[in-house]
Structure 1
């Protein structure tokens, strides 16, 4: 009789625990997935950080994290990867147990070969009941994204064209500023180079202050990108334009030349809405004037997000982003014929224009 009562009590306890754990399987569990960086270089490893935490006061015997990845993502760690039967990607699954107030972290290394904006599916957290009969899952993270900028375009003709164009700019005067050319001072921003800081003015207790130079002596460049592909077969030319734009901006960065980039395209923007507001996604995006690591990151993000379809006509784009009277030189990267583009880009005296087209000879002109 005692044994029977004990068995009934044990069964009641097990059923109670089973019922409780089924209702509270995910209570006190938190999980998240965060990309190491928004930007992922094409073909280079990019890390996704997965973390799960047990915020309760008791041990959780079985917890699993599941992340489904589309076929476009190449996964390096095969030990925790399950291939979908329908061939629609792979699922990364980690199973662990956690002590009270303990957490576990994992890294998923992926590669993406093509330029573009890619969505990451949300992370799912699962935990079983007391008897392990059922598994309860919950979506834990919001949709994340990765932006893959274009590869650089390495062409001798491009190098030669850029070399000739840069030779027309007053690079030496910009690199070694004459003190008499300082027109004033302004608050330092992250886009300013360290050598532009006026330490004498900064020492007066107003924070970091940058020198403001006379814009007539400071060479500046506007980089415009207008790439159009009426058919799918012409998309490679659009991709080459974006690659050329990256190379051009990288050269300007190396020469410490102030520049502004504007790309005539619609854009894929989801989460990092600092780039756009409201309906602005359907208009060209541009950087401010500047150079430096943060400025170049902005360039790479815009080039990676570009969808490849113009948001405006070439004429309107040029008129809006290189208006008459602009005191800057211009580099135009386009799929359009050169004779159509040049009339849209009026130059001020002493400024230069370089037109770059994919896999074709480049044209350069200057004004006296």
Structure 2
């Protein structure tokens, strides 16, 4: 008889703990996640910060967090984090216990390793009782968007002809600045008049800043990227590493031009996530806002060909006869007869066209792989966990 009642009490205890540590546990469990930045370049570090709070007066025997994340992020390993990586997504699982009325802050260092636009939109939380009789899962909806821009290339990875082209561009600029054309701000230099001080920027940076003026003969430069690696390619880019090199090369050129106070725009022949053809063209402009507008477009473009490069060039011929000629820089891995004919049409319209030939496909792949390896070796620090009651 005593054994019977002992079994009854045991069953009641097991049932009670299953109720206490089961579904009710999720009612007072709160989770948030954020990233240290919403935009970055490939190769730059980020930090994913998770906050877990148990507002219940009872501890959680075990808690499992599971999330699917893009492979664009390289995570550091930790004792409580298991990562299963595929070609597109990586599955993250962590299992631990959580005390009563406690808040945990988990910081995961990571490295951006793939250009694009990504959304981190869900996490699944699972809890259960001591004996595993009850398991309850609940998805936690999130909306974290992050944009990863292409990396800039070091000078020794840029095409050999780029340095000489830079010199030619500088030679076409006048020495005197245009006092009516303000392109940004820069640090104060000895001899700068005090009436050129930008007081708002000075207060923001803590260092004396002055207006940066454009030049009277600044060219209106349009950088045009050819995503085709050869003349036979007509749909999907078959060598992604080479194409990423071409994109990074173009990003480096645009950053350099705008950093020198020049006026730059961007166009390309790759697929974009919009049907509007105009979204693949950014008119020349000045400043940091123009740079990030172009970098955003570069992050969006897909490695698929929207139209042949020769057709894209023809579309640049101005319809308005009164439009001023524009300097055009074509960044392309090759020049075919069709491309050469389209270039000649642009020049006949009075437009200055220069061609920057990229290295061979194998050389582009090698250069980009070396750059990615440098980023990978930088890695990320081991994940850290902090607690506060």
The CA RMSD measured in Å over matched residues stands at 4.4
Q: Normalising to structure 1: TM-score of the pair? A: 0.69
Report if the CA contact (8 A) 2:29-2:56 is conserved.
no
C-alpha displacement of 1:252: 0.9
From 278, 297, 300, the equivalent of 1:305 is: 300
CA distance in 2, matches of 1:31, 1:263: 42
Match in the other structure for 2:50: 50
CA contact (8 A) 1:283 1:311 kept: no
Per-residue deviation at 1:261? 1.9
Structure 1 residue 245 displacement after superposition: 0.4
Distance 2:340 2:266 in 1: 22
**Map of 2:331 onto structure 1:** 333
Q: Which structure is higher in RCO with an 8 Å CA cutoff and minimum separation 6?
A: 2
CA contact (8 A) 1:219 1:258 kept: yes
Query: Closer, same or farther in 2 for the Cα pair 1:217/1:265, shift >3 Å?
Result: same
Deviates more, 1:156-165 or 1:312-321: 312-321
Q: Which residue pairs with 2:185 in the alignment?
A: 194
- Residues matched between the structures, number: 328
- CA pair 280-135 structure 1, distance change in 2 beyond 3 A: farther
1:170 aligns with 2:173: yes
Q: CA deviation at 1:194?
A: 3.4
2:303 aligned counterpart, secondary structure: coil
Deviation at 1:163, TM superposition (A): 1.7
Q: What is residue 286 of structure 2 aligned with on the other side?
A: 290
Shift in Å at residue 19 of structure 1? 2.9
**1:323 aligned to 2:318?**
yes
Structure 2 vs 1, CA of residues 193 and 20 (structure 1 numbering), >3 Å: closer, same or farther?
A: same
Structure 2 SS opposite 1:24: helix
**CA distance, structure 2, for counterparts of residue 132 and residue 32 of structure 1:** 26
Asked if 1:241 corresponds to 2:246, the answer is: yes
Q: Are 1:18 and 2:18 counterparts?
A: yes
Q: What's the TM-score, normalizing by structure 2?
A: 0.66
The CA deviation at 1:112 is 4.7
Distance 1:37 1:297, change over 3 A: farther
User: How many angstroms apart in 1 are the aligned matches of 2:301 and 2:238?
Assistant: 18
1:104-135 per-residue CA deviation (whole Å, 9 max, x = no partner) reads 22122233544444565732222223655333
CA distance in structure 1 between the partners assigned to 2:110 and 2:214 by the alignment: 47
Cα distance, 1:130–1:171 mapped onto 2, change above 3 Å: farther
What residue is the counterpart of 2:365 in the other structure?
Answer: none
CA distance in 2, matches of 1:82, 1:200: 54
Is the 8 Å Cα contact of residues 173 and 216 (structure 2) preserved in structure 1? no
Unaligned 5+ residue runs, structure 2?
A: 187-194, 201-210, 361-389
The structure carrying a bigger strand percent of its residues is 2
Alignment-derived partner of residue 259 in structure 1: 264
- Asked if the contact 2:221/2:327 (under 8 Å) is kept, the reply is yes
* SS of residue in 1 equivalent to 2:152: coil
1:159 correspondence with 2:162: yes
Contact 2:21 2:127 in 1 (8 A): no
CA deviations 1:260-283 (Å, max 9, x no partner) are 222332135xxxxxxx6xx44995
* Aligned position for 2:223: 223
> Structure 1's 144 and 27: CA in aligned 2 closer, same or farther, altered over 3 A?
same
Q: Secondary structure of 2:25's partner?
A: coil
- Indicate if the aligned counterparts of 1:224 and 1:261 stay in contact, CA closer than 8 A: yes
Q: Which sits farther off after the overlay, 83-92 or 17-26?
A: 83-92
In structure 2, distance between residues paired with 1:287 and 1:17: 66
Deviates more, 1:26-35 or 1:240-249: 26-35
Asked whether the 8 Å contact 1:121–1:144 carries over to 2, the reply is yes
Contact kept in structure 2, 1:258 and 1:289, CA below 8 Å:
yes
- What are structure 1's unaligned runs of at least 5 residues? 186-191, 204-210, 269-275, 361-368
Contact (CA 8 Å) 1:237, 1:335: kept in 2 or not?
A: no
